[in-house]
Amino acid sequence: MTRVRYAPSPTGRIHLGNARPALLNWLYKLRTGGSYVLRMDDTDFARSTRDSADGIERDLDWLGITPDLLVRQSERTALYNAARDRLIASGRLYPAYETEDELERMRARARLVNKPPLYDRAALALSDAERAALEAGGRKPHWRFRLEGKPVQFTDLIKGPQTVNTASMSDPVLMREDGSYLYTLPSVVDDIDLGITHVIRGEDHVSNTGTQIEIFEALGGTVPVFAHHNLLTDAEGQGFSKRLGSLSLSDLREQGFEALAVATIAVLTGTSLAVEPYADLAALADALELSMISHGPARFDPAELAALNARILHGMAFETATPRLEALGLADVRLWNTLRPNLQKFDDIVELAKLVTGPITPVIEAADREFIATARDLLPAEPWDETTWGAWTGAVKTASGRKGRELFMPLRMALTGRHDGPELKSLLPLLGRKASLDRLS
């Protein structure tokens, strides 16, 4: 069975860029009938908070993502320690004692002679006595994974065949001097333990994949299938910041955007599929294949989100909107069908409903008073339906000689106090004759 994972660090709010991999993994799970793991990468104890983790769960739930399993790396240290010990025993994980200043000087010397600033593995040449002396002097080691230094090949579901040559890389640090783990080892151990079959993530991780595949192999784990997607950026091509809260999902939710609009934009931007409304995430999953994701940039356009949000509302069935309308005390099918073509955000209906319920301030220019009086006198008797507007304005046109904008705009301003709004042929029956007479007076 396909099993994917989304692995955020709970150090801030999820933004639109973070939502992209979360959703791509969810859609792949839906498309393949697999399962979805939410893994909180919370081993950075200084910055990770439970409040951020809870916020991530709320944001994912709002998007429509309901993980099959939730795990927290902070609760899985024993697994990482066991893997660490296996790698040490096999000679693939070794202690290194250089300070950051010493490493920077080493890199600077390499650059001066036009060599790549790679770690020279000096720690591997230390004797037991030299290591003991360093530790007696207060040095604590960080631990590096010894790469095989070979071309690592894999087939990426988005980018196609890839080769990462680990000979051009420094042996990565997997464990800090204080014994805490960096991202790489816990991530691989979890992928093995949880049976992750597909890793769908941003293209900024392509260069890490060679190292991770070597760790999978060193631990005897099955290497998952990788898919690296283009990164979602702002309109200027800059990445979003989780800590700064740029375009956070919580902000977008508070601004009144539909979750489906946000999800669709996060997923379809930078793909060959047109951005248009889908019935739900399952329909989006059926339409999108990973091969449709572009190799070029994916730039977010705020105007595109606003337009899509409006289109989703304009096509929303009354049955879908009913629970939210009931909460606002506006659950009337005729009202919904009349007002929804003018909605940009769902809660716009509160103000638009006042066109029916009032209060509104009719606007009648001095030059139009005689015309409006004529129109008032010609109001037909009830019952009214969508043919009433045409019959009434036809009679007013004949009586006044006005037509086009000179005919319709003064009537709209008198009845609604606005230059724009719902079609009056639909609005007029909701107003009724008494309210219309009052406003025309």
Is the domain of 166 the same as that of 289?
Answer: yes
- pLDDT per residue of the chain (441 residues) written in tens, 0 to 9: 999 999 999 999 899 999 999 999 999 999 999 999 999 999 888 889 999 999 999 999 999 999 999 999 999 999 999 999 999 999 999 999 999 999 999 989 988 888 889 999 999 999 999 999 999 999 999 999 999 999 999 999 999 999 999 999 999 999 999 999 999 999 999 999 999 999 999 999 999 999 999 999 999 999 999 999 999 998 888 887 654 456 899 999 999 999 999 999 999 999 999 999 999 999 999 999 999 999 988 999 999 999 999 999 999 999 999 999 999 999 999 999 999 999 999 999 999 999 999 999 999 999 999 999 999 999 999 999 999 999 999 999 999 999 999 999 999 999 999 999 999 999 999 999 999 999 999
Spatial distance between the Cα atoms of 292 and 32, rounded to a whole number of angstroms? 16
Is the domain of 135 the same as that of 234?
Answer: no
> What pLDDT score does 244 carry?
47
User: Do the Cβ atoms of 171 and 184 come closer than 8 Å?
Assistant: no
Is the domain of 66 the same as that of 164?
Answer: yes
Is the domain of 69 the same as that of 11?
Answer: yes
Is the domain of 327 the same as that of 185?
Answer: no
User: Domain boundary at 328, 357, 386, which?
Assistant: 357
> What pLDDT score does 245 carry?
52
Q: What is the total count of domains within the chain?
A: 4
For residue 168, the one-letter residue type is S
Rounded to two decimals, the pTM is 0.92
Structure tokens at 58: 């709320």
> What pLDDT score does 234 carry?
84
Q: Is 145 inside any structural domain? A: no
Spatial distance between the Cα atoms of 358 and 80, rounded to a whole number of angstroms? 65
Spatial distance between the Cα atoms of 394 and 183, rounded to a whole number of angstroms? 73
DSSP bridge partners of 299: 233
Is the domain of 284 the same as that of 408?
Answer: no
User: Do the Cβ atoms of 414 and 440 come closer than 8 Å?
Assistant: yes
Is the domain of 206 the same as that of 297?
Answer: yes
Is the domain of 107 the same as that of 62?
Answer: no
Residue 237 Cα distances to 18, 21, 22, angstroms: 15, 18, 21
Is the domain of 382 the same as that of 244?
Answer: no
Count each helix (H run) and each strand (E run) in the chain, helices first.
18, 12
Other beta carbons within 10 angstroms of residue 256's beta carbon come to 13
Domain limits for position 268: 1-91+151-315
Residue 38 Cα distances to 69, 201, 212, 307, angstroms: 6, 13, 20, 31
Q: Is 309 inside any structural domain? A: yes
Is the domain of 64 the same as that of 173?
Answer: yes
Q: Is 144 inside any structural domain? A: no
Q: Is 146 inside any structural domain? A: no
Q: Is 258 exposed, middle or buried (0-12, 13-18, 19+ CB in 10 A)?
A: buried
Q: Please give the backbone phi and psi of residue 359, each rounded to the nearest 5 degrees, phi first.
A: -80, 145
Is the domain of 54 the same as that of 197?
Answer: yes
